[in-house]
Amino acid sequence: MPELPEVTTMVNDLKRTVLNRTIVDVWCDSKKNIKTPSFEKFKKGILKAKIEKIERKGKVILFFLNNKKVLIIHPKMSGHFLYGFWERAEDKWIPKSKGALNDPMNRFIHLMFFMDNQKMLAFSDLRKFARIELWDEKDLAKADILKNIGTDALEIGYKEFQDIIKKSKKKKIKPLLMEQKLIAGIGNIYSDEILFQAGVLPYRTADSLKKDELKKIHKAIKDILKKAIALAGSSVSDFRRTTGDKGEFQKKVKVYRRNNQKCLKCGTIIKRKKIGGRSAHFCSKCQK
């Protein structure tokens, strides 16, 4: 699933490509992903609308249109945007140029926006789990997709972070970092990397963490996420940039998916353990 760095990368790319562009047409072959309203009303609501602002809230992307509508897209497990030229052939969208858009992970196009500069904004989604909605800006607070999103992981202060930990008591730290209603944006990849930098084992309970460990985790949240954004996120599986290219952070991971390999810091074999239904990767020597 795209996490904060990947969604931030999408937003940054979208601002460079479609901000201030007007949507002139839209195509969709997976209308079930458009939850609100019907596809017909969705299409009518975005046609001839100019994209005035693009923002991220947690892992959700919001396009603010000049007709006071807001297009909301949650990429979920495998969604990502692509920008360029395609042609329709044999029920498939084929890129008109060679290059990264031809990456196999970019072929699952189920939503296509046609822009006023003749270019196209595609949404590729292998698993078709993405959620797409269109709201009147004045009613945005009613959108369930935006409710229960906690403080952004890049913005959370130490005091608020400390309070969350204190209230969580017996919850294990890795799934706690991933609880979106408390802290928004951290998922499986970055929780592993954050806890490795902080030197804390992922199965430690919140009430077992000392003050200096909390400070290290809080610092690591900002450090790791900023490094990942600088490298355009991680392309471990599905994620690609609007150019079709991969992010680069997966080349820098210290523990994520490195089980049975040597720790890059001390040489101990990296372990993998299921915690709350998710895999955690850690070094039993570097993390306590």
Closest CA to 88 of 21, 23, 25, 13: 25
User: String of b and e for 228-240 (b: at least 16 CB within 10 Å)?
Assistant: bbebbbbbbebbb
**Contact present, 250 and 112 (Cβ < 8 Å):** no
Closest CA to 58 of 45, 78, 70, 72: 72
As given in the structure block, the two tokens for residue 108 are 């699952």
Per the listing, tokens 């906690």 go with 150
Query: Quick one: average pLDDT of 223-236?
Result: 97
Class of the 4-146 domain? alpha beta
Question: What is the model's pLDDT at position 1?
Answer: 78
Per-residue model confidence as pLDDT tens digits over 63-91: 999 999 999 999 999 999 999 999 999 99
Instruction: Compute the C-alpha angle 279/281/285, nearest 5°.
Output: 145
As given in the structure block, the two tokens for residue 191 are 């929780």
Give yes or no: 3 in active site. Answer: yes
**pLDDT above 90: residue 163:** yes
Which one from 50, 215, 273, 278 is the annotated catalytic residue? 278
Question: What is the model's pLDDT at position 237?
Answer: 87
CA 91 to chain centre: 29
Which one from 3, 6, 133, 193 is the annotated catalytic residue? 3
Which positions ≥6 away from 196 have C-beta within 8 Å?
254, 255, 282, 283, 286, 287
Cα dihedral sign for 9, 27, 66, 133?
Answer: negative
Could you tell me the residue ranges of all domains in the chain? 4-146, 151-282
Per the listing, tokens 């698993």 go with 127
Per-residue model confidence as pLDDT tens digits over 174-222: 999 999 999 999 999 999 999 999 999 999 999 999 999 999 999 999 9
Average of per-residue pLDDT values in the chain: 97
CATH number of 151-282: 1.10.8.50
Which one from 56, 59, 241, 271 is the annotated catalytic residue? 59
Question: What is the model's pLDDT at position 12?
Answer: 98
Question: What is the model's pLDDT at position 134?
Answer: 98
In percent, the amount of the chain with pLDDT more than 70 equals 100
Query: Given the DSSP bridges, would you call strands 60-65 and 49-57 parallel, antiparallel or unpaired?
Result: antiparallel
Band (pLDDT 50/70/90 cuts) for residue 45 is: very high
CA atoms within 13 A on the CB side of 271: 13
Band (pLDDT 50/70/90 cuts) for residue 24 is: very high
Cα dihedral sign for 232, 235, 240, 243?
Answer: positive
Give yes or no: 59 in active site. Answer: yes
Q: How far is CA 85 from CA 18, 30, 72, 102, 179, in A?
A: 14, 20, 23, 11, 38
Query: Given the DSSP bridges, would you call strands 69-74 and 60-65 parallel, antiparallel or unpaired?
Result: antiparallel
Question: Residue 249: helix, strand or coil by DSSP?
Answer: helix
Instruction: Compute the C-alpha angle 123/125/128, nearest 5°.
Output: 125
Query: Quick one: average pLDDT of 134-151?
Result: 96
Identify the DSSP state of 262: B
